[in-house]
Amino acid sequence: MYQFEIEKADEGQRLDRYLALAVPALSRSAIQRLIRDGDVSVDGELTAPKHRVQTGERVSLRIPPPRAAAPEAQPMDLDFLYRDEHFVVINKPAGMTVHPAPGQADQTLVNGLLYEGVGLSGIGGVQRPGIVHRLDRETSGVMVVASHDEAHRKLSKAFAQREVKKTYLCVTAGKPRKPEGLIDTPYGRDPKHRLRFSGKVRSDRRARTRYRVLETMGPCALLEIDLLTGRTHQIRVHLSEAGTPLVGDELYGGGKRWKGVSWPPAKEAMRAMTRQALHAHRLAFQHPMTEQAMDFESPLPADFERLLEGLRSG
């Protein structure tokens, strides 16, 4: 059971949008189903997805128990960058959840892979077969999925030992002070906002992000990111706390930054980006079975290209 009290900063949001941000593991469509099924209440009363939340309201969200059965095979439009009997590499679109979770038992990447006849490792369990690493639902780009247990173990070890090169592209609202740098901080839950993570905490866990500015465009910048560790929300947190949140990132302060922009092309381009402008561009690693060097790149998706086009138009 999740329980939230609406804060002033969140007043006026649709209930389904608020909960989708509050519980990142669930898609907005999954949230809407839970609301319609009576699993969400506001001040003890059932309501509709379009309800506008008000300061002080108490929202309760009940997650039904996960299905014990294996995920169903479902047809989905998957973009395979590579496929063999050991693993597959996928170009994941923004908006796709990686694996079934409470509240969303279908229409995930795992369901689509099963439909395509991809063998999936059992190490991740019934709900997360083959999943070696994850991307946030609204992050697009390249990811690898293991087809059997031995490949899964070897790929997981490579990730854990920092032997996998992970490169991202992102657009920030604001420009970094330096053209390149390394952000190295402790990392953990934000004590003031339980939905967020932070690098301004006391923790033995560390997070390291290397960035390089590729281009500046009006009030924004295009960055290349080398992810040296793999903490939840790491890129989003580090850039936000550096004063340059990702364009479109509601949770970490980049969702409404377009309001302070006076230059019309940039303002419209930023407003049109309805998810965090973050793309997993490249994944390089050693083949788990043959030890051959593997290197995969994912092209920028259409919404990211439109954002860059709008920012460059001035």
Question: Which residues are the active-site residues?
Answer: 136
Cβ contacts of 64 within 8 Å, gap of 6 or more: 34, 39, 102, 103
DSSP string covering 130-151: TBSS---TT-EEEEEEESSHHH
The three-point CA angle 217-275-78 to 5° equals 110
Phi-psi region of 290 (alpha: psi -120 to 50; beta: other; left: phi over 0): alpha
